[in-house]
A = this chain, B = another copy of it.
Amino acid sequence: MNPYADFTFKLNFLFRSVKIHFSAVTVSKLGLLRTKKMPIELGQRKLQNQKANCTCLNAAFSPLLIFCTVNCLLGLQATPLYCNMLNFQENSVCKLFGIKLPIVQGGMVWVSGWKLAAAVSAQGGLGLIGAGSMYPELLETHIQKCKAAGIEKFGVNLPLLYPHAEAHVEVIIRNRVPVVFTSAGNPALYTQRLKAEGITVVHVIANEKFALKALDAGVDALVAEGFEAGGHNGKEETTTLVLIPQIRKICPVPLLAAGGIASGQSMLAALALGADGVQIGSAFAVCEESSAHTNYKEAVFQSKEGDTQLTLKELTPVRMLKNELFNQLEQAKQNGASKEELKAILGKGRARKGILEGDLQEGELEIGQVAMQLKNSLSVEAYIKKLLQEVEEGLFNLNKIQTT
């Protein structure tokens, strides 16, 4: 898209490496200064060592010479300040969870077991085990496997609308899970009880009303999820672009943006809107470590614009890929179906059927609007690496709007 950017990028890289040599040189030179006061035989020994780095001096300075000249000629003074390294040490999300990257993997039914969560945490993000699709015993197994894999920083996503919430909470406390993300329910239910156990509690909201509720309940952080997001969502249809600045105004705790975020560009956009970090769902749902069925992942890769829609506002709004089930529901709604009739059509276990078993027509294929931008299955490691590189490049390009 911008060949010049690539050139300046390389130039920067050169400058950074030269800077490193430069400091090495300074050190050795200072050593050289010391030698002058030393008795000859000591000095001679020092000198032997100097010889080596004198050779590397030349090696180091020639690129410096090239860089400075090119830099002065092309007037690229602005570029040296660009660093091809990101630093989230001061990031409030990283501090809160004790992680390296402000990237949370959303807890997703039938998708995020311990394997996905562990893979994300291992890369410096925060992986969440999705309790929504697990019986308490299974949740306990996943938590223990995650710990057995040597993962300390991870969490459990607890959708309060599902059954077993109470039993889940007991499992979570018994197994000393460090972080819990609650969603789809009243944040006042378990927040204080979990916090009393030293657990960091985050609540997922899609509007200002619930954000205030969650803050009142004393949550440690918020996830603000826009209309674009997959799975269950708010009725207001407020998009991430509009929701984040709105919630930022009233949110004194760390704020994570969710919905429509899969690329480094969108992560950068979320941070620009005032979020401290991001929660990514869809992109992780199609990663190699996700437990979703290959058919489901393939359906996501094949999806085009307009292929997902937020439906079932009458019950609990959910964004899914349009398929046979979706059409049945829409048809029923057009025929003025009642809540009960819709519930009857939906039945039970549709998400399991679609996401875990790969039934593309009868299953509920929950996924976000970014589905159309997901084209292949990467390992979590490869995906996060790509994501961070896009953030770096994006920020580099964004800084071009400033005077140099």
Q: Of the listed stretches A142-150, A152-160, A166-174, A239-247, name the one at the interface; the rest are far from the partner chain.
A: A239-247
A52 and B52 contact, CB distance less than 8 A: no
How many Å lie between the Cα of A217 and that of B249 in the bound state?
Answer: 43
Expressed in whole angstroms, the minimum distance between the Cβ of A402 and any Cβ of chain B is: 5
A65 and B60 contact, CB distance less than 8 A: yes
Expressed in whole angstroms, the minimum distance between the Cβ of A396 and any Cβ of chain B is: 9
Q: Within the complex, which residue of B71, B86, B90, B269 is in contact with A67, where a contact is CB–CB below 8 Å?
A: B71
Q: Of the listed stretches A129-137, A180-188, A338-346, A366-374, name the one at the interface; the rest are far from the partner chain.
A: A366-374
Q: Would you list which residues of chain A between 235 and 279 have a CB under 8 Å from chain B?
A: 235-242, 245-246, 248, 259-261, 263, 265-266, 268-274
- Residue picked from A26, A53, A236, A394, most chain B C-beta under 10 Å: A53
The number of chain A residues with a CB under 8 A from chain B is: 107
This protein's copies in its complex: 2
A395 and B401 contact, CB distance less than 8 A: yes
CB of A294 within 8 A of chain B?
A: no
B53 and A54 contact, CB distance less than 8 A: yes
A228 and B242 contact, CB distance less than 8 A: yes
| Contact indicator per residue, chain A 53-85, by CB within 8 Å of chain B (1) or not (0) | 110111111111111111110001111111101
CB of A361 within 8 A of chain B?
A: no
Please give the residue numbers on chain A whose beta carbons come within 8 Å of chain B beta carbons, in ascending order.
1, 16, 26, 29-30, 32-33, 35-36, 38-47, 49-54, 56-72, 76-83, 85-88, 90-91, 207-209, 226-228, 235-242, 245-246, 248, 259-261, 263, 265-266, 268-274, 304-306, 309-310, 334, 336, 369-370, 372-373, 391, 394-395, 398-404
30 pairs, CB–CB < 8 Å, chain A vs chain B: A32-B46, A35-B42, A39-B43, A41-B44, A49-B51, A49-B54, A52-B54, A59-B61, A63-B68, A63-B69, A66-B72, A67-B72, A67-B77, A77-B77, A79-B81, A80-B81, A86-B403, A88-B401, A226-B241, A227-B227, A228-B239, A238-B369, A239-B369, A241-B259, A268-B398, A269-B269, A271-B401, A272-B272, A272-B394, A395-B402
Contacts A83-B404, A271-B401 given; 15 further ones with Cβ under 8 A?
A36-B42, A41-B44, A56-B65, A77-B404, A208-B304, A227-B239, A237-B309, A237-B369, A240-B241, A241-B269, A242-B372, A269-B270, A336-B336, A395-B399, A395-B402
